[in-house]
Amino acid sequence: MIVVMQPQATEAQIQQIVERLEGLGFNVHRTTGVEQSILACVGRMIDFDLREIEVLPGVAEARRISSPYKLAGRSFRPQNTEVRAGAMGVGGRELAVIAGPCSVESLHQLSEIAESVAAAGARGLRGGAFKPRTSPYSFQGLGQEGLRILRHVCDRFGLVAVSEVMSETQIPMMLDTVDILQVGARNMQNYNLLRELGKVRRPILLKRGIAATIEELLLSAEYIMAGGNYDVILCERGIRTFENYTRNTLDLSAVPVVHKLSHLPIVADPSHGTGRRDQVPAMARAAVACGADGLLIEVHSDPDHALSDGAQSLDLPQFAHLMDELRQIAPVVDRQVTAATPAVPAHQA
């Protein structure tokens, strides 16, 4: 931590701060400049509250120089982490594309979507079974039946199953059915849930909260990792700003920032990030160009009749077209997109 003293701070005030910092366990190195004194403090625990110092007389500002997250930080692992789930790697050379409807609606609906997105090159199929809807009167998901459908369809088409876990009580049934557990934006700071997910050995897709800073996102990842589960995939899904043309503001600058601060992979969700189907392809292309390790894209066979998030869902041809575009962009940023294949269910191949 660096403590910058005010230009008018008295010698007595500076001495008081030095003693206070030493009392807190810091080693204090003082530099006296022409205008101000600067105190460089080393050697204390990382969760220190800067405001405890900032409010003391004579202090201009206190600034942290080491990160408050340890396991999620780059210094813990200088090389990138690749999280693996079945045939999909997130954080490696191959772009991880996870597609699917916002909600699992029926076996027929999910099968139709899965067949098409698998053929277009997606590796993961995401479908919500428990939906965190803003209104309690909106469709809440098929629950356990939705999970069963998701598992069945993923096995049939060789896809990695991704679904949202909304509470600790759902974890056992999730472990029985899905390959990656999603923590939604609304639960990013549900610390009891994060702690429980630290105990499982299954990848977690952690979405950024609508008003969360990048540091808060990384601290939430830290909660999971502190329990021993290091397989955390971060997701930028848009934050709430004053702009209301789009549903959220997709903060793509979070991608290079996270890559600088952390070894964890980060994917982008341009569907929730924009809330509009007409804006999704452009932001998906931009996400790949800025180095996202993967994409989470809502795709529906009949978006206009989807039970949730239809307006932001691509239809099947739109998704296939986007994948073709991504195949051209990916090599420029040293990435590769899975080849499109004729639609053949895995069990017939």
Instruction: Return residues touching ligand PEP (CB under 6 A).
Output: 102, 128, 132, 184-186, 207, 237, 272
Q: Are 117 and 99 in contact (CB under 8 A)?
A: yes
- Residue 132 interacts with, from Mn ion, ligand PEP, none (CB under 5-8 Å by kind): ligand PEP
- Residue 237 interacts with, from ligand PEP, Mn ion, none (CB under 5-8 Å by kind): ligand PEP
The half-sphere exposure of 80 on its side-chain side, counting CA atoms within 13 A, is: 19
The answer to the question of residue 153 lying near Mn ion (CB under 5 A) is no
- Residue 293 interacts with, from ligand PEP, Mn ion, none (CB under 5-8 Å by kind): none
Phi/psi region, residue 49 (left: phi>0; alpha: psi -120 to 50; beta: rest), is beta
Query: H-type helices in the chain, by residue range?
Result: 11-23, 51-54, 107-120, 144-157, 171-177, 191-199, 214-226, 254-261, 270-274, 280-289, 316-329
Cβ proximity to ligand PEP, 263 vs 272, nearer residue: 272
The answer to the question of residue 293 lying near Mn ion (CB under 5 A) is no
Q: How far is CA 306 from CA 101, 110, 231, 314, in A?
A: 8, 12, 32, 11
> Residues in the chain, how many?
349
Q: How far is CA 30 from CA 15, 39, 290, in A?
A: 10, 5, 41
Which position among 58, 268, 309, 320 is part of the footprint of Mn ion (CB under 5 A)? 309
The answer to the question of residue 295 lying near Mn ion (CB under 5 A) is no
The answer to the question of residue 125 lying near Mn ion (CB under 5 A) is no
C-beta nearest to ligand PEP: residue: 184
Cβ proximity to ligand PEP, 39 vs 188, nearer residue: 188
Helix (H) or strand (E) holding 25: none
Cβ neighbours around 277 below 10 Å, total: 20
Q: Which amino acid type is present at position 196?
A: E
Residue 236 C-beta: closest distance to ligand PEP, Å: 10
Cβ proximity to ligand PEP, 128 vs 303, nearer residue: 128
Residue 164 C-beta: closest distance to Mn ion, Å: 9
The answer to the question of residue 183 lying near Mn ion (CB under 5 A) is no
Cβ proximity to ligand PEP, 40 vs 210, nearer residue: 210
**Cα torsion 313, 300, 264, 327: sign:** negative
The answer to the question of residue 164 lying near Mn ion (CB under 5 A) is no
Which position among 62, 88, 102, 110 is part of the footprint of Mn ion (CB under 5 A)? 102
Residue 303 C-beta: closest distance to ligand PEP, Å: 14
Residue 209 C-beta: closest distance to ligand PEP, Å: 9
- Positions touching Mn ion (CB under 5 A) are 102, 309
